[in-house]
Amino acid sequence: MGKKVWFLILVLVAFSFSMMGCSSLYDEAWYQAPNWTPEGLIYFQKSITHYRQEPMGTITLGTDYEYWTMTVDGTQETKLPYTSYPYYSPKGTYVAMISGSNLNIVRRSDNQTVYSYAFPIAYGGSLDWGPDDDKLVYQKASSGTLITMNIDGSNPIEITSKEVMPDIAWKYNSMIACIGDYLTLVSSDGVTSEVLLSDVPLTFYPNYYSDGKYLFTADTNKFYKIDLNSKDVVSAVSHQLNSFKPQKVWINPKLSPDNQKVIGGFSLDTGIWITNIDGTGLKQLK
């Protein structure tokens, strides 16, 4: 083999090593889906995407998902032992976690799985617990209607005939709050349905107050408190997002168990924000 060929081989090898030496690894973290534990801690999903920077561009290596809690001031973070997003039962006994087409129910006291089964009717989105920790509600995959069932997956019932938005609330009240054409309350067996029409605007993200007597909802400008007895709006306060330019929009705001604070994210934003229920004290935690 001639000297020129050997020289070219050496150059190529040296170039390959130099290219390898120029690569670097780095991670980016995103914070999503904040919610409340029954004890009043904030929990959230932390998405960690791994990258390798090469001279010719960036390669995405994969994403890991972790679940953490923190206090309302954004401190004292603790990693949870869960591999899927946890849905806490209102009395704090269980967490429900979705894995593909299956649902796992874990007892919090000893982190033991007490039920694990395929959804009796295909899961399509959203999930919430009944007030007694013994039932769940979720959206049906094919239609977007609501399904209730016992904690062990038995007795599934389709309780709505039309698609609803993926904003449902059940804990703290016997009726399930959902949004179709209107803000509506539906019984767990689907027999009773009541539309909230009296002075109630079409808002989003219903959350029950922990006493079960009021309903929290939000729109692009305000937080609303609805009296479930009179069906009237008893409070409508600005949540101050119109101070942002361009204006931000709440995504899935969640009312705290003490009914004093709201946690959530903003549209086109990967952070976590908290505010008082009266709209004051808006602060970014993540």
Band (pLDDT 50/70/90 cuts) for residue 1 is low
Tell me what pLDDT residue 197 has: 67
Higher pLDDT among residues 198 and 113, named by residue: 113
- The phi-psi region of residue 255 (left if phi > 0; otherwise alpha if psi is between -120 and 50; otherwise beta) is beta
Over residues 168-208, the pLDDT tens digits come to: 999 999 999 999 888 999 999 999 999 886 566 667 899 99
How far out from the chain centre does Cα 94 lie? 17
Tell me what pLDDT residue 3 has: 53
* CA 93/CA 39 separation, integer angstroms: 11
pLDDT at 39 over 90: yes
pLDDT at 59 over 70: yes
* CA 189/CA 195 separation, integer angstroms: 16
Give the pTM.
Answer: 0.86
Band (pLDDT 50/70/90 cuts) for residue 10 is very low
pLDDT at 167 over 80: yes
Tell me what pLDDT residue 29 has: 87
Q: Which residue has the tokens 């395929």?
A: 118
pLDDT at 285 over 70: yes
Tell me what pLDDT residue 219 has: 86
Band (pLDDT 50/70/90 cuts) for residue 14 is very low
Over residues 45-55, the pLDDT tens digits come to: 999 888 888 88
Counting other chains too, the contacts that 145-151 makes at CB distance below 8 Å and 24 or more residues apart are 146/176, 146/178, 146/186, 147/120, 147/121, 148/176, 148/188, 148/189, 148/190, 149/120, 151/94, 151/105, 151/115
- The phi-psi region of residue 4 (left if phi > 0; otherwise alpha if psi is between -120 and 50; otherwise beta) is alpha
- C-alpha radius of gyration, the chain, whole number: 24
Q: Supply 18's token pair.
A: 């130099």
Helix (H, G, I), strand (E, B) or coil at 45: strand
Higher pLDDT among residues 126 and 13, named by residue: 126
